Structure 1
């Protein structure tokens, strides 16, 4: 995964989008990764996996 500084991400937002469409990109602030930018398709895939793995919620008994 490629990492960009927050400054580079801010001033090169178009480049960040282009990079993130191909592979998730970490954005670092003060040298520490704080967020990941990814293509919407990858986000939707991960959300679908998460939904499949969650056990059904227990109903509260009163």
Structure 2
């Protein structure tokens, strides 16, 4: 995980985004982590959530189909 200060993340925002596409980037303010930027892991978790939500809707009939 790459660690950056808020100042560095702001000044090199493009690089911060590019790095977050391949590994988590922790952004710290006064030595305390305030944000972790991730892309791949978020996409994976969102897909799992969407799949789980779709199953829950189908099993309870909330998708409007009978």
Q: TM-score, normalised by structure 2?
A: 0.66
Equivalenced residue count is: 54
Structure 1 gaps of 5+ residues are 57-62
Structural RMSD (CA)? 2.3
**Structure 2 portions without partners, runs of 5+:** 57-66
1:4-47 per-position Cα deviation (integer Å, ceiling 9, x unaligned): 000000010011011111101000000111111111x3212123
4+ residue stretches of structure 1 with deviation over 3 A?
none
> Residue in 2 aligned with 1:22?
22
- CA radius of gyration, larger in: 2
TM-score, length-scaled by structure 1: 0.70
The answer to which structure has the higher helix fraction is 2
